[in-house]
Amino acid sequence: MSSPSPVDPRVEKTALTDEGLISVHDNVAAGKSDAGGHYRMLPLVLLFVFSGLIIFAVTYLNRYSGHFRGNIFDERQLPSNGPVVVAKADPLVLGKKQYGLACVTCHMPNGLGLPGIYPPLAGSEWVAGSDERLIRIVLHGLKGPVTVKGIVYGTAAMPAFGQVPGSGYNWSDEKIAAVLTYIRQEWGNTAAPISTERVAELRAKAGSRKEWVEAELRQLP
């Protein structure tokens, strides 16, 4: 039979038993929250907030991303397989832009041209008169002398702006109609606008041809 283990003299005898310690702890903690647990509502609130943001982000992307297709531009519209409707540009805005790209070099920002070389557009009977003559000039070009407001101009020829062989501009019907509408309503001019349909009609009627001369144009209505 083994003898009991000797008691280590370095270990002091506990003053209270386990049951006593528990009883003392219960008395001290009675009616108080367990601050040692570090329980807070904030993490739970943040969890719900961020979950809501994630759900919103996923819903927003699904509704407005257009499935990340490059042909969807308006985020306010749902993706659609229907025809794409392109808003028509303001003719005066487009016409002013086209004038600044090419016409301004010769006819000047004020529409007065250069004496003896480039005829004026401001107050010109050619600008305010027959729309057919004006459209054909821009479509196919003009060469030789031309009389404007009683003064002869003709040192430089006007190039063709229509989509014809040899033309360096290849402007569409819409662009030609817009620039002609612009010059007919700028610098004090008050002539009626020119429609895209009218330009298309005369383009198809005239086909492909060389530059016009003044004598030919004066025979047109």
Mean per-residue pLDDT of the chain: 81
Please state the pTM of the whole predicted model.
0.60
Half-sphere exposure of 216 (CA within 13 A, CB side): 16
Highest mean pLDDT out of 6-10, 41-45, 114-118, 192-196: 192-196
Question: Which two three-digit tokens encode residue 51?
Answer: 């979950």
What is the tens place of the pLDDT at every residue in 140-187? Answer: 999 999 999 999 997 678 889 986 655 568 899 999 999 999 999 999
Cβ proximity of 109 and 133 under 8 Å: no
What is the tens place of the pLDDT at every residue in 74-126? Answer: 556 566 666 766 667 788 999 999 999 999 999 999 999 998 889 999 999 99
Residues in the chain: 221
CA nearest neighbour of 122 among 92, 93, 148, 87: 148
User: How many CB atoms are located within 10 Å of the residue 111 CB?
Assistant: 20
Task: Give the largest Cα separation in the chain, rounded.
Answer: 144
91-218: CATH, from 3.10.290.10, 1.10.760.10, 1.20.1630.10, 1.20.1730.10:
1.10.760.10
Ranges for all domains in the chain classified under CATH 1.10.760.10: 91-218
